[in-house]
Structure 1
Amino acid sequence: MPSEEFTLAFSCPNRAGIVAAVSRHLYDNGGDIREAHQFDDPETGRFFMRVRFAIVEAVVTVQSLTAGFATIAERFGMDWRLASREAVPKIVILVSRFDHCLADLLYRWRIGELRMEIAAIVSNHPREVYAHHDLDGIPFHHLPVTKETKAEQEARILAIVEEAGADLVVLARYMQILSDEMSAALSGRCINIHHSFLPGFKGAKPYHQAHRRGVKLIGATAHYVTADLDEGPIIEQDVERISHHDSPDDLVRKGRDIERRVLSRAIAWHLDNRVLLNGDKTVVFRD
């Protein structure tokens, strides 16, 4: 019988004995470490680690492993997550009129590239806007929003997220600024794709801003959402070279490709427990 695999990801103040304690605990529970990454940040004095392991000599559950690891976590002051790799994370996608990121996520989900369950799609535009997409039975919620109804609309979105038991919310070109309250409620579990290589060209129409400045590279940024617009911890970025021949529309067209691949990478890494927060930055343990 194949053994069940788990991932453990954590950060804590750096001190001697962390790796030894973790390794010993896994060994005592029949664990076999299959992959391990670690990083010591001298600027913050914090230690980061991700371990993929299998249970080969005992029968345990996420709950029993969690309970057993809690003592170690408390001793070292860890922020930590433990997950079974058999579990399929649930996500909720928020989208506006631009649907290229939605289309890409649907495709990657269907072919199994992104191992997840799309629990719901929420848009401030009606279902007819996406009539050319096969949503494959995914619940779709049309929640229009105005300045006057924003609080009510966001409360409904949060209710959908909680009812679905979503592990992650994805802003797939959702062109609404989240309130401070909603950003706080989704802290650490909401990824946005911004159509610019942050920290440059924040806010609206960044490709047009880039064109006016005559840049030679454009990019996209996937980051966690915070109350500060386009200031959240960055997970992934990519760029593409452009020239003086390119119009703003050319930049938008080329940017769509960058946005799709950057967002999909960030989601994949988050779902695989590879992203750890480090203040205003992230530590990403890639493949």
Structure 2
Amino acid sequence: MKTNVHTNSSIGEQKKGSRGRLLVKCPDRPGIVAAISKFLYEHQANIIESNQYSNNPQGGTFFIRVEFDCPRLAELAEEMEEDFEQLAAEFAMEYQFTYAEERKRTAIFVSKEPHCLLELLWEWQSGDLPTDIALVISNHENARAMVEALGIPFYYIPANKEIRKQVEEEQIRLLKEHQVDVIVLARYMQILTADFVSHFPNQIINIHHSFLPAFIGARPYERAYERGVKLIGATSHYVTNDLDEGPIIEQDIERVTHRDQVSELKKIGQSIERRVLARAVKWHLEDRVIVHENKTIIFH
């Protein structure tokens, strides 16, 4: 297996702080945890948090997330990553080093409904969303005032299927220009093409109601009400070329009754969407998610 090394930014002049994270995926076998622990100890790192999982101890895949503290991380990070290559080759690891002070840069896409955007902005303002919001892109002007009031660049780009190629070219240009690491679709009601998605593998996070596939298409709450559903919810997932079928990051539900009208179902649904999306984005930003095939391993 080829070893993959990814870092959020180049090592050297950037400030690393003292907190680092290591995510590993590899064939399961004895000695993996011991080898990683020994490696970090030999590089003057103290393990703060460690979570691991095996989907089958006999021939399955092993996953681990380690958060560590290293007072000399700024000067040792490059050497640490280079030295880890030998250990990774021995265990056929796919791995990723990240650094807590290198905050990911986020772009938020939104359409008319602002509830998910507002939740993310509030979490960001309160310090609970560890990211730099680089820009907001929308196919409507509704959210401009609330975004620009916080000093965040807002880009209005009208979108429909007739001009989708030109729209996505402009969006990709802006995302590259702003050096974006993660894209959040906060109720962005446009379908992304395979070409767009291919530029950002496992970097686009979406939210949708959990009626799917039962009430796919327009007016899902109206049709759910007519059907008399007893549970409604929301799902946050990574975007792939298969519409609404990417790896699931987080889900939640609430019980409803025959007394809840369509307007009440929508309010309840929006509340679930807000918290589910915020949790999913936060876990991604904290490097708590490992994607394996079409599933996710979440280390809370």
TM value normalised by structure 2: 0.88
Q: 1:83 to 1:106 in 2, by over 3 A?
A: same
- Structure 2 Cα separation of the partners of residues 230 and 18 of structure 1: 35
Counterpart for residue 252 of structure 2: 238
Q: 2:116 aligns with which of 59, 83, 101?
A: 101
Aligned counterpart, 1:220: 234
Of the three residues 10, 22, 33, the one matched with 1:8 is 22
C-alpha distance in structure 1 between counterparts of 2:30 and 2:72, whole Å: 28
Amino acid at match of 1:73: A
Quick one: distance in 2 between partners of 1:227 and 1:279? Answer: 14
- Alpha-carbon displacement from aligned partner over 1:194-251 (angstroms, at most 9, x marks no partner): 1225565444443334223321110001100011111011000111110011122211
Distance 1:66 1:201 in 2: 48
Which structure 2 residues correspond to residues 264-279 of structure 1 after superposition, within 5 A? 264-279=278-293
Taking structure 1 as reference, are residues 138 and 129 closer, same or farther at Cα in structure 2, changes over 3 Å only?
closer
1:189 to 203, 206, 210: 203
Distance 1:97 1:57 in 2: 47
CA contact (8 A) 2:108 2:185 kept: yes
For residues 152 and 57 of structure 1, do their structure 2 counterparts lie closer, same or farther at Cα, with a shift above 3 Å needed? Answer: closer
Given candidates 152, 156, 165, the residue that maps to 1:138 is 152
DSSP 3-state at the match of 1:136 = coil
| Aligned residue runs from structure 1 range 1-287, under 5 A | 4-42=18-56, 45-56=60-71, 60-126=75-141, 128-132=142-146, 135-196=149-210, 200-286=214-300
The one-letter code of the counterpart of 1:284 is: I
Q: Using the alignment, how far apart are the partners of 2:145 and 2:151 within structure 1?
A: 13
Alignment partners' CA distance in 2, 1:155 and 1:191 = 19
Does structure 2 retain, via aligned residues, the 8 Å contact 1:197–1:221? no
Instruction: Tell me the distance in 2 between the aligned counterparts of 1:163 and 1:275.
Output: 26
Code of the residue aligned with 1:69 in structure 2: it is: F
Matched-pair contact (CA < 8 Å) for 2:19–2:73: no
Q: Secondary structure of 1:188's partner?
A: coil
Query: Is the 8 Å Cα contact of residues 147 and 154 (structure 2) preserved in structure 1?
Result: no
Aligned length in residues: 284
Distance 1:142 1:61, change over 3 A: farther
Are the structure 2 counterparts of residues 268 and 200 from structure 1 closer, same or farther at C-alpha, using a change threshold of 3 Å? farther
Task: Please give the alpha-carbon distance, in whole angstroms, between the structure 2 residues aligned to 1:279 and 1:123.
Answer: 31
Superposed CA offset, 1:131-190 (max 9, x none): 355541111111111222101111111121122111110000000011111122221111
CA distance in 2, matches of 1:82, 1:129: 35
Identify the residue that residue 10 of structure 2 maps to in structure 1: none
SS in 1 for 2:162: coil
**d(CA) in 2 for partners of 1:62 and 1:174?**
38
User: Is the CA contact (8 Å cut-off) linking 1:207 and 1:248 kept in structure 2?
Assistant: yes
Q: CA RMSD in A?
A: 2.1
Q: 1:130 to 1:11 in 2, by over 3 A?
A: same
Aligned 8 A contact 1:29 1:58 in 2 = no
Letter in 2 for 1:48: F
Equivalent residues of 2:114, 2:143 under 8 A apart: no
- List gaps (5 residues or longer) in structure 2: 1-16
Contact map agreement 1:11 1:49 (CA 8 A) in 2 = yes
Residue identity over aligned pairs, in percent, reads 43
